[in-house]
Amino acid sequence: MEEKNATAPALQGINSKLARRVMDELGQNVYLCYQCVKCTSGCPVGEFFDWQPHQVMRALQLGEEEIALHSETPWLCASCQTCTTRCPQGLDVTAIMEFLTREAQSRGIKAEVPEVAIFNQAFMRQVRLWGRAYELGLMGEMKL
What would the pLDDT profile of 41-60 be if each residue is shown by its tens digit?
Answer: 999 999 999 999 999 999 99
Q: What is the pTM of this model?
A: 0.79
Domain ranges of the chain: 1-110, 113-144
**Gap between the terminal Cα atoms of the chain:** 45
In DSSP notation, 1-17 reads ---S-TTPPPSTT---H
pLDDT band at 21 (very low <50, low <70, confident <90, very high): very high
- In this structure, which topology does domain 1-110 adopt according to CATH? Fumarate Reductase Iron-sulfur Protein; Chain B, domain 2 (1.10.1060)
In DSSP notation, 49-114 reads -SS-HHHHHHHHHTT-HHHHHH-SHHHH-----HHHHH-TT---HHHHHHHHHHHHHHTTPPPSSH
pLDDT of residue 127: 84
Stretch 21-42: mean pLDDT, rounded? 96
What would the pLDDT profile of 69-96 be if each residue is shown by its tens digit?
Answer: 999 999 999 889 999 999 999 999 999 9
pLDDT of residue 66: 94
pLDDT of residue 12: 53
pLDDT of residue 14: 59
